[in-house]
Amino acid sequence: MNGCIIVKTPIAVDYWRFNHGGNSNLIHFLSHMHSDHTNGLSSSWRRPIYCSEITGKLLNVKLNVSCRLVRVLEIGQPHIIPLSEGSTETMTVTLIDANHCPGAVMFLFQGYFGNILYTADFKYSPLMFTAPGLDSSPLIDVLYLDNTYNDPRCKWDSNEAAAKLIEDLIAPVINDTNIVVALHNLGKEELLVQIAERFQRWIVVTPDRFETLQQLELPNVFTTDADASNIRVVTQPSITWKNLTHWNSHSKKTIVIVPTGLFTLSKKKSSYDHPNVYLVPYSCHSSYSELMEFVTKLCPKEIIPIVKDGGDTSDMRNFEDLLSKAEPIIFKMPESVRRYQTASNPHSFSFKFKAKGRGSHPLKRKQVSKRRIARGVVFEEEEENEAPSFSEPNVLDDCAKCASSPPGKKTRCSYSRSIDVIKATSRDLDNVIWTRDLQTKLNTKTWEEECNESKSLEKELTIGSDINRNSNNNISENTKSTNLKALNSRPICRSVHNATKRNEIIIPVKDRLTFYQSVAKMESNLKRSNTL
């Protein structure tokens, strides 16, 4: 994920990893809507997000983020944002067009920390230094730089020259060839408009991309009708040998144009080596020479790479001679900002979670998977036939098989009907630990010995979250005595993999009798709930 929290500030840019610790009151900014900058952001997000107008629209349409959380900032206008309670400490943020994709911006932050420019993904243009924010030539203390192509090999002509090359590829074959353009889900729309206007053809796109394009106020050159044109747009992962073979198996030839500079640094091109695939260095990131020109004009005191992949592009030493010789600013986070950042926030997810209190259900995530898979111990409906008791040999054999079966095998073990016939599978339990060997314990341990040993241990039984703990404690003495031997041989099992993440209740079992009482309570409550 290409995002970070700016050091010694509450500013988080393209950073969506929620922290229940001291970062609950971070101020979140979104530079643009590419997936590597929205990783972790979804409809369940509950904090305000500062962004441009176009990005705000796409947030709602594509990720279902509530409009109430979107704080639109106008590009080119300075905006004052409070950093502490009562606005005793503030900062000014100015958005600058990043020339990367629709809605993409750079952020100029000015406050107690000095002047910080966060470029996010950007394509350098000399006009950036005439934009409000950079037109006054502020001294930049820290530059967070898009270092995607920070490599001397990444040198190519302008995008205008690349667009002309693409037109020259299409022109000779426009009437008898299918043209496929491979792009990301957002970006380079201006190239598609240029192709459409040059050849007077519709551009066929998917309904999902068409929905995005409708938010961008572009010329009417796009359609979802596959038969309307021989020029269509696909995503880059669609360019595979299988698809290329299929597309070229028809009467019409298909060529694929991939406008990107990304493969300049790639040693393996795989399907892009196909003779019908054309890689054209049309990029929405700054080339190496453009980065050098940008840093030369900006002359910051310090540079921090945004893409931290550990490769050569993250090495900023090539900019050392271009940095300002001025003394770096030394600052610390004001106490008022620190208190506000770590205070409980009534709008945050963690505050809502804690406010529920003990005994109530935690907030639930929206289900992503369409199919619900049972986990833990599953309570099934009662069958007409009486289930065998623990003491019967077939049950002991069954449990022994379950204990020795490898993970993922559908071996079932059954328990006494007197405690509602609990059935579980080693597939449903992520990791089952059996703490007693049935056959051995029956022959070597008495109930009293087993009970005394159990009192010194803390054991857990994982059960389904729908069972209420509050039920009747009454257990007949007759039932107890008839099941002592069975309980003595009872294998205690527990799921040790993320039980709490599955909303399961953990019941401590300190001895055999307590275990029996616990399950009997569940049986009683289950029967009661079934009658309601």
Share of the chain above pLDDT 90, in %: 48
Task: Decide if 83 contacts 337 (C-beta within 8 A).
Answer: yes
Give the C-alpha distances (Å, rounded to integers) separating 326 from 139, 299, 329, 375: 9, 10, 9, 61
Model confidence band, residue 516 (pLDDT cutoffs 50, 70, 90) = low
Name, of 342-346, 374-378, 433-437, 483-487, the range with top average pLDDT: 342-346
329-338, 352-361, 448-457: least confident range: 352-361
Residue 198: both structure tokens together: 């040059």
User: CATH for 4-151+287-349, among 3.40.50.10170, 3.40.710.10, 1.10.3720.10, 3.60.15.10?
Assistant: 3.60.15.10
Determine the residue type at 232.
R
Distance CA 260, CA 105 (A): 20
For tokens 């990367």, the residue is 100
Per DSSP bridges, beta strands 11-13 and 422-425 are unpaired
Instruction: Pick left, alpha or beta for residue 66 (phi over 0 → left; psi -120 to 50 → alpha; otherwise beta).
Output: beta
Residue 191's region, left for phi above 0, alpha for psi from -120 to 50, else beta, is alpha
Architecture of domain 159-280 in this structure: 3-Layer(aba) Sandwich (3.40)
Q: What is the pLDDT of residue 130?
A: 94
**Do residues 257 and 205 lie in contact, with contact meaning Cβ atoms separated by under 8 Å?**
no
Strand partners of residue 145: 305
Q: Are 186 and 311 in contact (CB under 8 A)?
A: no
Of 33-42, 330-339, 519-528, minimum mean pLDDT range: 519-528
The more confident residue out of 9 and 17 is 9
* Dist. CA 72–CA 51, nearest whole Å: 5
Extract the tokens encoding 91.
Answer: 């900062």
Domain with CATH 3.40.50.12650 in the chain: 159-280
**Choice among 117-126, 134-143, 355-364 with the minimum mean pLDDT:** 355-364
| Two tokens, residue 197 | 């206007």
Bigger pLDDT: 215 or 421? 215
pLDDT tens profile 399-410:
334 434 444 433
pLDDT tens for 64-107 read 999 999 999 999 999 999 998 888 899 999 999 999 999 999 99
Residues of each domain in the chain carrying CATH 3.60.15.10: 4-151+287-349
Q: How confident is the model at residue 261 (pLDDT cuts 50, 70, 90)?
A: confident
Contact assessment for residue 174 and residue 255, using Cβ atoms and an 8 Å cutoff: no
pLDDT of residue 523: 63
Please tell me the distance from the alpha carbon of residue 65 to that of residue 188, in angstroms, as a whole number: 24
∠135-136-138 over CA atoms, to 5°? Answer: 115
- What's CA 336's distance to the chain center, in Å? 32
Q: Which two tokens stand for residue 523?
A: 């049986």
What pLDDT, on the 0 to 100 scale, is given for residue 517?
63
Per-residue pLDDT, 436: 36
Specify which residues 258 forms β-bridges with. Answer: 279
Q: Give me the mean pLDDT over the 320-334 stretch.
A: 91
For residue 463, the one-letter residue type is I
Lowest model confidence (mean pLDDT) among 134-148, 185-199, 375-389: 375-389
Residue 423 pLDDT greater than 90, yes or no = no
3-state SS string for 362-431: CCCCCCCCCCCCCCCCEECCCCCCCCCCCCCHHHHHHHHHHHHCCCCCCCEEECCHHHCCEEEECCCCCC
Mean pLDDT along residues 188-204:
96
